[in-house]
Every structure is written in C-alpha cells, then in structure tokens.
C-alpha cells in the first residue's frame, strides 16, 4: 500500500489500486465516474471519542462556579457575577419568541426576581459566607454590588502589590546568618524537661536551618494546643540571643504574655539572657525601665502584647520576631509587622491556621512546619454537650476537686459573673472559688491568676480571658456556660486549656433548651463533640485539615514526581469544599 499527500494525487496515479492519505473527512464516499471508493478510519474502527469538549473549558467560569444544575439546591444563596447575592428558587420554563427555554429563578432583596438562562450557568457561583440561611441579599438596580466588587478588587491589588514588594525585598536582601552555638545549644536543648516528639524535632531543625542561612526566615509552625510550639520558639530565641540579636515575642493577650514571661524566665534561668515584659500588668516605672533596656540593647528577649508595636519602641539590634496567633491582631498592627519581614527573621505560631495563612505557605511565601504528634501520655479531652443542670455541674466540680485537680467555670458575662460564683459556692461548699475577668485592675487579675496557679483555690469562674495560652497542668475540667454562643475555633481553644498533663480531662459544654439554640450553633456543638481525638484542631474544618495534611506531604516529598502528585491532590481537595 502506497501513501499519498492527498486523495487527488491518488486519482492522478492510474497505476495505484490501494493507497492511504490524511484528509479532514468524517465519512467516506464513492466516485463512480472514477471507479474509486474513499474509506475513512471511522468506517474501519468505529466512532471516535471526541475529546474537544473535555479539553476546552469555558474561560468565564470561575473556581466556585456551578458546572451542573444538580449542584444547585433550592433555597441556597448564590452569587451572580453582575448582580450580587441572591437566593436560588428553582427552574422555570419561560416562552420567549415562541420558543420555550429553562431559566434559573433568583430572588433578590425586596422580592425582586432575576431569570438567568441555563446556558449562562457559568455566571453563577457559590455563596461563601458563614451563615447561608441569613445571607444578605443585594437589591437589583443599585450600585451596591458594583461598589463592593470594586473595593474588593482594589484591596486584592493593594495586598498583592504589598506582598510582592515585601517578599521581593526579602529575596533581594541578605539576611543575618545566625551563628551555630554547638555545645551551648545542645546544653540548652538538654534542659527541655520532656522528650521531643518527631514532628516537634523536625520543626526545630527546620527553624535552625533557616536561621543559620543568610535568607531571612518567615516560617509558620502549626500545631494543636499543647503540642510544643513554645519550645520551638525558645530554641529559636536562644539561637538569636547567642549571636547578639534581640528577640521580640508578640502575643495577643495580657495573660498569655505573663505566662510566656514566666516560662521563658524558667527556661533561660541558667543563661545570661535578660528577659523583659511589656503589658498592662507592669507599672509605669517597670515599663520605662524595660524601654530603656530595649533601646540600649540590654534586653535580649522582650515579651509583650500590642504595646510592642507602639512607636516609642526602639530596638537596638532586633534579629527575630516571634508571633503567637498572628490572626488575632488587627489590620493596623499587622502593617507594622509586615514592614519588619524584609529585615528580620519571622517565626509564627498558630493552633488554628486560617486559609489565607496556609495559602501563603503553599505559595512558598512562607515556609511551613506542622506539629501533629501529641506529647507522650497525653489523653484526649472527653467532651459532653448537655443542657444546663445543677446536679451535673456539682458532680463534675466535686469529682475534680476530690482528686486534687482544678476547674474552670467559664461564664462570659462580667455583669453576672459574681452571682454565678456565689451560686457555685452554695452549690459546692467544698470548693474554693475565685473570679477572674478582663475588667479587673491589673494587679488584682495578676494576683488571682497567680493564686489559681499555686492552688490557693481550686475553681476559677472566668470569662474568655483564659482562651489563649494559659497552661495549668492541674486544671483538668472545664465547664462552659452558654456554649452555643461561641465559635468553633474558640470552643476548641477553650477546651485546650485542660488536659495538658497525663490525667484524664473533661469538657462540659452547657446549653439552654434545644428550642433556644440556632441551627448553626447545633452544628458547631456537634462538630466539637465529635472531634475529641488528639490533634482534632485540623479536623474541625475538613478543608483546612486536608490542606494542611497535604501541605505536610508536600514538604516531605522532595522528588518532582511526588510533588506533582501531591499538588494534584491538593487541588482536588481544595475545589471540593
């Protein structure tokens, strides 16, 4: 069989009886006048599967767009790219110019209806708000949606430009390569009273490698409450102070600042490192003395709240900034932090990472370390969601008190907190009850927390001031009143205040009658009750958990093939939220 450029060449060759060529023909034909039959491959091998539709994707469909009508649920809020948030009411057949067509019916504020052709489904995307049942609907014919879109685009551009500038400067500049302390570092590490978990050791080594390189560090250490993130920060602080650099430790609350101050002082007690504290617990004279030490370079480590970001703070030789729970700070405070990223090493610690932070880590704007292994002998906190009952409260408090432990009773209303404490004293006469809330005078609050830490009383009635960072190993029962009023991450953080030793811990989430609880609150309580395993912080938000878990795989898999596979899995999980 002979090959030809086209079938006309075959006709011109009178000696050829069988030939093959390439032509854009789907079906064959017969030419009787030339005594020729053209047979296509379709006739020989059957119909070909057309791949064009699978390869071609509509350019206007965004990542959250609906691609199938079966994905739409009647009553669900949706976002039209041109008209904003509306509620999908179902399909309706409308006759236009004598031709019946199906339209999506969307309801907007004021009862206005918008009919969208099924062929324009790509203009509809999912509503990503927290409360779908009470989604704020836009009004048709106004500029509200256009204005909101314009502002969002401006913010995106501003944020992108700022990040580009900050990280371009980080790449262009040489950072400070901290000196390896060798024997001194090993001696400091040996002072850690616990055995490092595998994940914790990997995070410590990653931070050590970052700091001894010339490129400025910007690393996120992500781990559940009580999994050892603070020790990672202390190792980094030791490395910085050994090279003569100052360290700033920024925390969101006054109580956490005090806790870190005492922990750092104990951990660095056998070193010449000078540690200062800036918070409302300090007097004016103590604060002024600390500011002088910071400016002169005599203060090696400074632990503080938002006071560290004030204009009168001048470091002589700042080399490392450690931020505990960065997302807890305001926009204005973050602006000052961002300005530091081009010059000093940054270490961020978090137990509840937000998607934006993870996105930056996956985009290689930040490095990521995950501590997912719980400490040895750590037990999960048994969690109970119950309607409030005095008998149950008495039983829970008595059980903990009689075994020599301590109890948190969280009542997040300052106006009635004293009455709650008095009722508890009458209910459980055996308990020694103290009260703590954020409206107390600094000295009084500091004394209360110190007394509770030293077991001068065994029940603390408090507000959410204990939410972040309070570490009292003997406190192994927490009772949270009106748990339906708290967010999911907040409940997880509060539950993390207990169970920080090898004793079994208990969390009681008290609620009003079921009729008084919203549907969303019920879902949150069900989620927190189900996620009782150690390291459950990531599992509370499935998307975040998958994202972080796969991010860990990304960090561990260095081979190009493995990295490509992991990236594919990440994209799959992220789009199925």
Residues 555 and 421 reside in one and the same domain: no
CB burial string 501-527: b at 16+ within 10 A, e below:
bebebbbbbbbeeeeebeebbeebbeb
Residues 412 and 509 reside in one and the same domain: yes
- What confidence tens digit (pLDDT) does each residue in 153-210 have? 887 777 667 667 766 776 676 778 899 898 999 999 999 988 899 999 999 999 999 9
Note whether residue 167 is domain-resident.
Answer: no
Q: What is the mean pLDDT of the chain?
A: 80
- What confidence tens digit (pLDDT) does each residue in 384-396 have? 999 999 999 999 9
**CA–CA distance, 467 with 469 (Å, rounded to integer):** 7
Note whether residue 452 is domain-resident.
Answer: yes
Is 469 exposed, middle or buried (CB count within 10 Å of its CB: 0-12, 13-18, 19+)? buried
Note whether residue 350 is domain-resident.
Answer: yes
Q: Which helix (H) or strand (E) holds 382?
A: strand 382-387
Does the pLDDT value for residue 381 go beyond 80?
yes
Residues 513 and 423 reside in one and the same domain: yes
Residues 559 and 451 reside in one and the same domain: no
Q: For the residues of 135-195, what is the DSSP string, one character each?
A: --PPPTTSSHHHHHHHHHHHHHHHHHHHHHHHHHHHHHS--------THHHHHHHHT-SSP
**CA–CA distance, 308 with 316 (Å, rounded to integer):** 14
Structure tokens at 100: 């019946």
Lowest mean pLDDT among 93-97, 204-208, 317-321: 93-97
Query: Which of 30, 45, 60 is the endpoint of a domain?
Result: 45
Does the pLDDT value for residue 445 go beyond 70?
yes
pLDDT mean over 126-154: 81
What is residue 218's predicted lDDT score, i.e. its pLDDT? 84
Q: What is the pLDDT confidence band of residue 533, given thresholds at 50, 70 and 90?
A: low
Note whether residue 412 is domain-resident.
Answer: yes
Does the pLDDT value for residue 382 go beyond 50?
yes
| Residue bearing tokens 């499935």 | 542
**CA–CA distance, 489 with 492 (Å, rounded to integer):** 5
Does the pLDDT value for residue 39 go beyond 90?
no
Which residue did the predictor score with more confidence, 218 or 531?
A: 218
DSSP state of 298: -
Give the range of the structural domain holding residue 567, as residue numbers without chain letter.
542-575
Whether the Cβ atoms of residue 61 and residue 122 lie closer than 8 Å to each other: yes
Q: What is the pLDDT confidence band of residue 351, given thresholds at 50, 70 and 90?
A: confident
For residue 327, CA distances in Å to 181, 324, 331 come to 33, 9, 9
**CA–CA distance, 520 with 493 (Å, rounded to integer):** 19
Which positions ≥6 away from 193 have C-beta within 8 Å? none
pTM of the model: 0.65
| Residue bearing tokens 């469909």 | 61
What is residue 264's predicted lDDT score, i.e. its pLDDT? 94
Which residue did the predictor score with more confidence, 194 or 353?
A: 194
Going through 205-352 in order, the beta strands assigned E by DSSP cover 218-223, 246-250, 275-278, 301-304, 318-324, 345-350
Residues 234 and 367 reside in one and the same domain: yes
Residues 438 and 292 reside in one and the same domain: no
What is residue 557's predicted lDDT score, i.e. its pLDDT? 40
What is residue 459's predicted lDDT score, i.e. its pLDDT? 95
**CA–CA distance, 323 with 249 (Å, rounded to integer):** 6
Query: What is the domain-level CATH number for residue 82?
Result: 2.40.10.170
Q: Give which of 225, 567, 203 is closest to 368, Cα–Cα.
A: 203
**CA–CA distance, 365 with 360 (Å, rounded to integer):** 5
Note whether residue 304 is domain-resident.
Answer: yes
CB burial string 427-463: b at 16+ within 10 A, e below:
ebeebbbbbbbeeeeeeebbebbeebbeeeebbbbbb
What is residue 74's predicted lDDT score, i.e. its pLDDT? 85
Q: Give which of 514, 462, 507 is closest to 484, Cα–Cα.
A: 514
Q: What is the pLDDT confidence band of residue 24, given thresholds at 50, 70 and 90?
A: confident
Number of folded domains in the chain?
A: 5
């Amino acid at each position: 069989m002979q090959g030809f450029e086209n079938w006309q060449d075959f006709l011109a060759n009178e000696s050829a009886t069988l030939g093959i060529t390439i032509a854009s023909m789907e079906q064959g034909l017969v030419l009787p006048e030339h005594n020729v039959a053209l047979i296509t491959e379709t006739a020989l091998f059957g119909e070909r599967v057309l791949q064009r539709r699978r390869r071609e994707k509509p350019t206007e469909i965004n990542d959250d767009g609906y691609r199938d009508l079966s994905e739409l649920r009647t009553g669900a809020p949706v976002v039209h790219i041109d008209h904003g948030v509306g509620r999908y009411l179902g399909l309706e057949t409308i006759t236009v110019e004598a031709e019946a067509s199906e339209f999506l019916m969307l309801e907007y504020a004021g009862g206005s209806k918008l009919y969208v052709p099924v062929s324009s489904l790509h203009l509809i995307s999912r509503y990503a708000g927290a409360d779908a049942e009470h989604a704020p609907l836009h009004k048709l014919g106004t500029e509200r949606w256009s204005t909101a879109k314009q502002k969002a685009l401006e913010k995106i551009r501003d944020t992108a430009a700022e990040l580009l500038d900050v990280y371009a400067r980080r790449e262009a500049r040489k950072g400070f390569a901290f000196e390896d302390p060798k024997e001194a570092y090993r001696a400091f590490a040996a002072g850690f009273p616990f055995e490092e978990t595998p994940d914790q050791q990997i995070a410590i080594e990653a931070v050590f490698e970052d700091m001894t390189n010339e490129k400025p560090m910007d690393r996120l250490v992500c781990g559940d409450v009580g999994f050892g993130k603070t020790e990672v920060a202390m190792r980094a602080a030791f490395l910085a102070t050994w090279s003569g650099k100052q360290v700033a430790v920024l925390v969101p609350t006054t109580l956490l600042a005090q806790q870190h101050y005492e922990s750092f002082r104990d951990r660095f007690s056998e070193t010449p490192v000078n540690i200062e504290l800036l918070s409302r617990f300090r007097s004016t004279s103590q604060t002024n003395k600390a500011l002088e030490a910071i400016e002169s370079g005599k203060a090696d480590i400074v632990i503080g709240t938002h006071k560290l970001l004030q204009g009168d703070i001048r470091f002589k030789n700042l080399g490392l900034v450690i931020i505990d729970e960065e997302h807890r700070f305001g926009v204005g405070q973050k602006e000052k932090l961002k300005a530091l990223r081009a010059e000093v090493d940054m270490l961020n610690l978090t137990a509840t990472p937000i998607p934006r932070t993870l996105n930056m880590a996956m985009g290689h704007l930040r490095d990521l370390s995950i501590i997912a292994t719980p400490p040895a002998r750590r037990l999960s906190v048994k969690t109970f969601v119950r309607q409030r009952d005095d008998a149950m409260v008495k039983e829970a408090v008595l059980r903990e008190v009689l075994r020599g432990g301590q109890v948190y009773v969280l009542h997040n209303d300052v106006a009635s907190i004293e009455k709650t404490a008095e009722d508890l004293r009458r209910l459980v006469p055996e308990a020694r009850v103290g009260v703590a809330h954020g409206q107390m005078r600094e000295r009084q609050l500091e004394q209360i927390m110190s007394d509770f830490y030293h077991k001068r009383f065994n029940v603390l009635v408090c507000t959410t001031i204990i939410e972040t960072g309070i570490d009292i190993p003997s406190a192994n029962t927490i009772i949270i009143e009106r748990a339906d009023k708290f967010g999911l991450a907040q409940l997880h953080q509060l539950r993390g205040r207990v169970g920080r030793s090898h004793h079994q811990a208990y969390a009681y989430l008290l609620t009003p009658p079921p009729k008084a609880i919203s549907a969303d609150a019920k879902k949150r309580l069900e989620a927190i009750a189900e996620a009782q395993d150690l390291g459950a912080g990531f599992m509370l938000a499935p998307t975040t958990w998958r994202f972080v878990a796969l991010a860990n795989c990304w960090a561990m898999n260095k081979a190009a093939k493995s990295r490509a596979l992991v990236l594919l899995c990440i994209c799959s999980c992220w789009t199925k939220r």
